[in-house]
Structure 1
């Protein structure tokens, strides 16, 4: 094979095992140079494991990796970098307290040294400019917009003149305009001859940017690379999900896969003009280590509606939840819940009135992974009862078993550790605990992050059922497809404030402009996005 036709990156019979779990199984795939390639699949399909093998972060159990026709030593990052491969992780790696110039120096060398700030600025200004990253190099990383941080991460990866750049779920934390900016940057890299591999899960994004697409499912190569010009959204959806989406509605399937536009039809449920379950009036907080401050938040949620909260992560969503739960100190304003002023009431009292929370981090805030399932499940009733309440462990275990079976949790025994469950089953344990007949307000914070399609659909069905029973739902998600598909109303948070409120039909340009604070024309706002 000549150098002109050699693959930029090729994996040969790659298998990765973690104990009995097979993350990748005999994957053989090659990517042509100078193109934009997408690797897609459900959560758990093996996409990130593939990226880590290709970049030297994971040693496969068997198989080989070749760069431009030459085999490299697998499981060694330095060897992969020397061969011209760089990976930009979904979770950014540059130190947030460093200035841009300091972060670039650290990212390029991996160590500190003696330098002047002016010298570093001069050293890295031209490199960033060459990649169209416009930024004040004296600013701290944490003070920059997410899309700018990502641009700096990409610039760091290209310091070594990488010829293969892998971006792992690069759109997950971006606003719609941020995604447009990323794709423009990727196209410019392609023009410079860089081979770009994007790990994605949204079909709309794949067909909007990639030259080829490769599908993984259950750790196996299903098909690809396929020319994107020759494949339809429906065909690609079928390859990704196989038979698992047969029972889903078309709208839910498209939302799960990002297969259609994020222009949702008018599906809102008509809510009764009842007294709000939750009323925040002029709620403000002080900034702390846990999140951005809230600034004069007014928000009403009525029985029987799902209110989605959209926004780029870090704009006060976590603080909003903490304020509702009495975990963030208010500097101004009031909170009314279930007909009472609860501003001065603790979390336990609010839970007794019907507040339930599906937290942002299920394995940190939602479950004790080293405790049994019955202990995790019983936390709600134990916290809401008298402090010296007598409990019968055998009775609680029996009730727990009945509840977990009702919620279709796959488990062996209620005494097994919560950490032994899959992500979907762990989330179902939290749902079984939090979504009960006494729930008046359910805060669902990133409830489907990291879940596969089946588990995600189950969560959506559960939230809709709770809404239809009369509960109010506050859904916080970074996935606009999810928010548009199941929300009856959408509010957008920006810099700790409510930047906009929308009812169906939703338009991505309109909501996206509220997320970034960038105004668009009325014609742009009402322009629906076509299905690919």
Structure 2
């Protein structure tokens, strides 16, 4: 273990095993106090397991953990919290029906009784002190993603945490939201809180961290290294290992943030002929997933990737739902591959060539408790007549063939989908949705929460589909990613398409369109 006289956290020979799988392998590391530390690595590298060990959620099979020089019992959340450790998970845990004050009180110690007004006054003062601009009386379900995360962090600091762990905190944030988060993290550091960030994006690591530690395959590869002493390319090599050289030069630069993003470049460009999707004057009824579409005109040609940019919650989800038959079209028309499908069912739209990589792979894309072969077979079954004979053994064989072709790392097709890493889970969806009969692929946040290797894999798959004549609608809150992948970018604001851009893309102009400002 490196020198730990002034360490807030020190781990010695920590190992965690799940059957034959070693999640952490003999990890020894110490983190100095009062700094912002980043722990990075690919999906399955052991980052989240490490955070869960430190926070008391997982008991290590070997080794010891010290917080502030005091040995803490493994697998005991209360001991870790008493030592000053708080963990904010990637998936928020605030009850949607609670008010902010109720959620804060729920996580606080002590059983004092309060009137509702007193409770809101108490927690409003706490929120104000942390510069969290949220009303304590607001319902959690009414908050934006950024506001929910800010409340999660505020709740974690109720106990005067000395070590705050944020697991993939930017995975659900827009670029502006990530910027605000980092401002909040820096203020916490000024207050004396040590922050441990589990991150994927290299440019974010180098923008916020004082030190960087790299895990690969459960082992500590290096760290904590001063972030000022390492560049993006060297960090990518540490994270990916020998396979780093397989990344294309342009993608490597874009994924690491080492070069300014560009517009996608193709030799052929969009294919002439009927569009793969055409929306004419489409308006939808309001629903819970965002503002209704308002007179949207939108076309995607075969052989092009159209990026959808916009601050989250401005109609991107509604657009995807409308094309996928999950949001009713009140006015206008929708055509897929030349067929009017305005009132068609999802199975009919899939028969016309629609394929969808959904926003939430663990909610909309996969049944985590169901076996891999059943998840993969869902697309096959939708294409078959209702009374057609089904052979589970044949579907298992077909699933195995598809998963192997897409380089999914799995043990057997009967294992639950929830046992896979994020990158491999996304590959299962890709193997199901990206077949030869697809004409339009909707890729909604397809790389959210993925490491740079898995992200490059998804980008390559979408480009190959585009080059094969598919049209692709690419929705992402990461403008760098949109600029790098898209042939054309449209901006959504309050349920309308308000601007369209072609390469070279101008961040200032696109950002101004996203916020309704003039540029």
How far off its partner does 1:306 sit?
0.9
How far off its partner does 1:37 sit?
1.2
Q: CA deviation digits over 1:70-93, x for unaligned, max 9?
A: 111221111111111111222222
Q: Is the aligned partner of 1:260 residue 2:258?
A: yes
Where in structure 2 are the equivalents of 1:360-399 lying within 5 Å? 360-362=359-361, 364-367=363-366, 377=376, 379-389=378-388
Where in structure 2 are the equivalents of 1:33-112 lying within 5 Å? 33-109=33-109
How far off its partner does 1:484 sit?
2.6
Structure 2: gaps spanning 5 or more residues = none
How far off its partner does 1:124 sit?
2.0
d(CA) in 1 for partners of 2:210, 2:414: 50
d(CA) in 2 for partners of 1:392, 1:97: 44
d(CA) in 1 for partners of 2:124, 2:394: 66
d(CA) in 2 for partners of 1:377, 1:101: 42
d(CA) in 1 for partners of 2:413, 2:248: 33
RMSD after superposition: 3.1
How far off its partner does 1:32 sit?
0.8
d(CA) in 2 for partners of 1:155, 1:277: 46
Greater displacement, 38-47 / 142-151:
142-151
Q: Is the aligned partner of 1:284 residue 2:283?
A: yes
Q: Cα–Cα, structure 1 residues 103 and 371, in superposed 2: closer, same or farther, change >3 Å? A: closer
Q: Cα–Cα, structure 1 residues 514 and 404, in superposed 2: closer, same or farther, change >3 Å? A: same
TM-score by length of 1: 0.86
Q: CA deviation digits over 1:326-374, x for unaligned, max 9?
A: 1222233321111122112222222222112233444554456677766
Question: Size of the alignment, in residue pairs?
Answer: 516
Q: Cα–Cα, structure 1 residues 11 and 384, in superposed 2: closer, same or farther, change >3 Å? A: same
Greater displacement, 366-375 / 440-449:
366-375
Given that 2:43 and 2:421 are in contact with CA atoms closer than 8 Å, whether structure 1 keeps it comes out as no
Given that 1:176 and 1:508 are in contact with CA atoms closer than 8 Å, whether structure 2 keeps it comes out as no
Matched residue of 1:225: which SS?
strand
How far off its partner does 1:184 sit?
1.6
Q: Cα–Cα, structure 1 residues 82 and 508, in superposed 2: closer, same or farther, change >3 Å? A: farther
Matched residue of 2:239: which SS?
helix
Q: Is the aligned partner of 1:238 residue 2:237?
A: yes
Aligned match of 1:251: 250
Structure 1: gaps spanning 5 or more residues = 523-532
Greater displacement, 439-448 / 59-68:
439-448
d(CA) in 1 for partners of 2:413, 2:33: 52
Matched residue of 1:284: which SS?
strand
Q: CA deviation digits over 1:382-407, x for unaligned, max 9?
A: 43344344567777676666655544
Where in structure 2 are the equivalents of 1:115-130 lying within 5 Å? 115-130=114-129
How far off its partner does 1:23 sit?
1.2
Given that 1:92 and 1:153 are in contact with CA atoms closer than 8 Å, whether structure 2 keeps it comes out as yes
Aligned match of 1:160: 159
Given that 1:262 and 1:484 are in contact with CA atoms closer than 8 Å, whether structure 2 keeps it comes out as no
Q: CA deviation digits over 1:139-165, x for unaligned, max 9?
A: 222323332322222221111111111
Q: CA deviation digits over 1:250-308, x for unaligned, max 9?
A: 2212344x433553256366324533211122323334456654343332111111112
Aligned match of 1:212: 211
Aligned match of 2:11: 11
d(CA) in 2 for partners of 1:192, 1:379: 51
How far off its partner does 1:325 sit?
1.9
Aligned match of 1:525: none
d(CA) in 1 for partners of 2:4, 2:218: 30
Given that 2:124 and 2:135 are in contact with CA atoms closer than 8 Å, whether structure 1 keeps it comes out as no
